[in-house]
A and B are shown apart, each in its own frame.
Chain A
Amino acid sequence: MIFHRVNQFSRKVASISYFGLSADRLHYKLAGKFQLLPWREWGLSHKSCMLRTGSYVYPAYHKDEGVALVLTALLIPVLLFICAILFDLSRIYINAIYAEEVSLLVLKIASSSEPLGFTPRNSDMDRFVHAPAGEDESITLKRKNFLENKLEEIDRPQYAEKERLILNLSYGALHFLSPDTYFPIPEPLSNGSSAFSELAGRVNCSLYFTYGTYGGTEAPPSPFPGVADADYLVELQKQRDRIFHVDCAVPLVSSRLFGGLLGQQYLELKRESYARHSGNLCSSTVAGCTS
Chain B
Amino acid sequence: MKSMKRREVSLQAGAVLIEAAAVITIFLVMSLGMAQQYAVVMAELRHHAIATEVLLGPQERSLSLNAADGSVSMLCDPGEDGCVGGVTTPTMTEYLDEIGNFFLSRADTSTTLGVRLGYLESHTWNYALGVSNADVGEAKSVQLNGQTKYYRKVGATTCTNQMLQAEIDSFATTFLTKMLNYKVEGTTPQIGIKLYKVRISDVDYQDFMDFLPVGFGILCTEAFDFLFPQTAITIFPIVPKRLTR
A residues at B contact (CB < 8 Å): 19-21, 56-57, 60, 93, 96-97, 100, 103-104, 107-108, 111, 214-215, 271, 273-276
* Closest chain A residue, CB of each to CB of B55: A111
Interchain nearest-CB distance for B21 vs A (Å): 15
- CA separation between A21 and B12, bound complex, in Å? 9
A100 and B45 form a contact (CB under 8 A): yes
* B49 lies within 8 A of A273 (CB): yes
Query: Considering only CB atoms, which chain B residue lies closest to A243 in the complex?
Result: B106
Is the beta-carbon distance between A104 and B57 smaller than 8 angstroms?
A: no
Known: A96-B42, A97-B45, A104-B48. A215 touches B102 (CB 8 A): yes
Binding site secondary structure of chain B: helix
Q: Tell me the smallest distance from the CB of A17 to a CB of chain B, in Å.
A: 13
Q: Which residues from chain A contact B12 at a C-beta distance below 8 Å?
A: 19, 21
Contacts of A96 in B (CB 8 A): 42
Min CB distance, A245 to chain B, in Å?
13
- Alpha-carbon distance A20/B19, docked complex (angstroms): 13
CB nearest to B46 among chain A residues:
A100
| B33 at interface by CB-CB < 8 Å | no
Please tell me if the beta carbons of B38 and A276 are within 8 angstroms of each other in the complex: no
Q: Which of B45, B48, B53 has the most CB of A within 10 A?
A: B53
Q: Is the CB of B38 within 8 A of A93?
A: yes
Q: Which of B2, B6, B45, B53 contacts A273 (CB 8 A)?
A: B53
Interface residue total, chain B, C-beta cutoff 8 A:
21
Q: Is B15 an interface residue (CB 8 A)?
A: yes
Q: Is the CB of B45 within 8 A of A274?
A: no
By beta carbon, the residue of chain B nearest A277 is B58
Contact, CB under 8 Å: A107 / B52: yes
Shortest B186–chain A CB gap in Å is: 37
Judging by beta carbons under 8 Å apart, are A274 and B5 in contact?
A: no
Q: Given that A276-B56, A276-B58 are contacting pairs, would A60 and B45 also be in contact in the complex, using a CB cutoff of 8 Å?
A: no
Give bound CA distance, A107 to B12, whole Å.
Answer: 63
> When the two chains form their complex, are residues B5 and A56 in contact, meaning their CB atoms are under 8 A apart?
yes
Residue of A nearest to B35 (CB): A89
Q: Give complex CA distance A60, B8 in Å.
A: 13
Q: How far is the CA of A273 from the CA of B45 in the complex (A)?
A: 13
Query: Across the two chains, which residue of chain B brings its CB closest to A105?
Result: B52
A100 touches B49 (CB 8 A): yes
A144–B58 Cα distance when bound, in Å, is 35
Asked if B42 and A276 make an inter-chain contact with CB atoms under 8 angstroms apart, the answer reads no
0/1 interface trace, chain B 24-43, chain A, CB 8 Å (1 if under): 00000000000000100010
Establish whether residues B102 and A103, one from each chain, have CB atoms under 8 Å apart when the complex forms.
no
Q: Assess the A274–B53 pair: CB atoms within 8 A.
A: yes
A108 contacts B15, C-beta separation under 8 Å: no
18 example contacts (A-B, Cβ-Cβ < 8 A) are as follows A19-B12, A19-B15, A56-B2, A57-B5, A93-B42, A97-B45, A100-B45, A104-B48, A104-B49, A107-B56, A214-B58, A214-B102, A214-B105, A215-B58, A215-B102, A274-B57, A276-B56, A276-B57
B52 and A274 within 8 A (CB): no
CB of B227 within 8 Å of the partner chain: no
Q: Which residue of A lies closest to B57 (CB)?
A: A276
B9 within 8 A of A: yes
A96-B42, A100-B46, A276-B58 known; A107+B53 contact, CB < 8 A: yes
B6–A56 touching, CB < 8 Å: yes
CB contacts (< 8 Å) of A103 on chain B: these are 49
Given A20-B15, A57-B5, 8 new contacts (CB under 8 A) = A19-B15, A56-B2, A56-B9, A97-B45, A100-B46, A276-B56, A276-B58, A276-B102
Contacts of B5 in A (CB 8 A): 56-57
Contacts of B48 in A (CB 8 A): 104
Tell me if B9 and A60 are in contact (CB < 8 A): yes
Which residues does chain B contribute within 8 Å of A21, judged by CB atoms?
A: 12
Query: In the complex, what's the smallest C-beta–C-beta distance from A40 to chain B, in angstroms?
Result: 24
